[in-house]
Chains A and B, each alone.
Chain A
C-alpha cells in the first residue's frame, strides 16, 4: 500500500458524459501527478499540482481539467467523454519539488466509456 488513495476504483459511463476522479496523496506530500495508461498511448503524464497550484502540463486534452484543493486532495475532471478516453488513470504523489523525491502511485481508477 503506497498510501495514495484513488476513488472510484472503477467507473463505467457513456460517451458525452462527465466524470470526476479523486486522489488523496500520502500524508505530508504536497505534489500530485496524474497519469493516463491506455493500450495505444501507454503511460502518459497529464498534469502536476504542487500545494494547490498547477506546476506542469503534459498531454492533457482541453476536455480534461484538474485541481488540487487546500487539503491537498486532487480531482481530475473528464468531460465530453469519448471511447478513446477509456483508460486507467493513476494519481501519484511526492513530498515536494525536489527531484530526488520518489513518486508513489495510487491503485488507479479504471474508466470505461461505452
Chain B
C-alpha cells in the first residue's frame, strides 16, 4: 500500500519570504500522480498543484512550484512571495495511475503560518 509522509507538522514564514514544505511517499508503482492541496480555515480542500510521475519537469502554478525527485520519492512544495492568504493546512497526496485505484492517499498535513 502507498503511504505519504509529511514530517513537518508546522511551519512558519515571514510575509513575502519563501517557504518549502516537505513530502515523501512510498510506492512500488512507476506511474502515479502527486498533488498538494490547501485547506484554509474554511475547511475547503483546494487543489494547489499536481505532478505526473512520468514528467521530469517540475510543475509550477504562479507562486507555487514543486521539486519532484522520483528516485528519492520526494515531492516538496515551494511557496514564493508568501502572502497572508497562504496560511492554511497543506496536504500532500498520492494517486495511482491504475484505473482501479483512484483514491487519494493523503499525508498528515503541515500547518503553515504566515507572519506579517
Residues of A within 8 A of B (CB): 2, 31, 33, 35, 42-45, 48, 55-56, 58, 88, 90, 92, 94, 97-100, 102-105, 107-108, 110
B43–A103 contact, CB under 8 A?
A: no
Q: Which residue of B lies closest to A99 (CB)?
A: B97
A102–B47 contact, CB under 8 A?
A: yes
A-B contact pairs, 25 of them (CB 8 A): A31-B102, A33-B102, A33-B103, A42-B107, A42-B108, A42-B109, A43-B104, A44-B106, A45-B103, A48-B103, A56-B100, A56-B102, A97-B99, A97-B102, A99-B97, A99-B99, A102-B47, A102-B50, A103-B104, A104-B47, A105-B37, A105-B45, A107-B44, A108-B43, A110-B43
Q: Choose among A35, A105, A107 the residue with the greatest number of B CB atoms under 10 Å from its CB.
A: A105
How many positions in chain B have a CB within 8 Å of any CB in the partner chain? 26
The smallest beta-carbon distance between B115 and chain A, in angstroms, is 25
Query: Inside 8 A of A107's CB, which chain B residues have their CB?
Result: 42-44
Chain A interface, DSSP helix/strand/loop, else mixed: strand
Residues of B within 8 A of A (CB): 33, 37, 42-47, 50, 52, 91, 95-109
- From the candidates A35, A98, A100, A110, name the one contacting B104 in the complex (CB within 8 A): A35
A-B pairs, 4 with minimum CB distance: A105-B45, A45-B103, A43-B106, A99-B97
Q: Which residue of A lies closest to B103 (CB)?
A: A45
B96–A56 contact, CB under 8 A?
A: no
The smallest beta-carbon distance between B28 and chain A, in angstroms, is 17
Q: Which residue of B lies closest to A108 (CB)?
A: B43
Q: Which residue of B lies closest to A105 (CB)?
A: B45
Query: Inside 8 A of A2's CB, which chain B residues have their CB?
Result: 44
A48 to B97, CA, bound (A): 16
**Known A99-B95, A99-B96, A99-B99: A88·B106 in contact at CB below 8 Å:** no
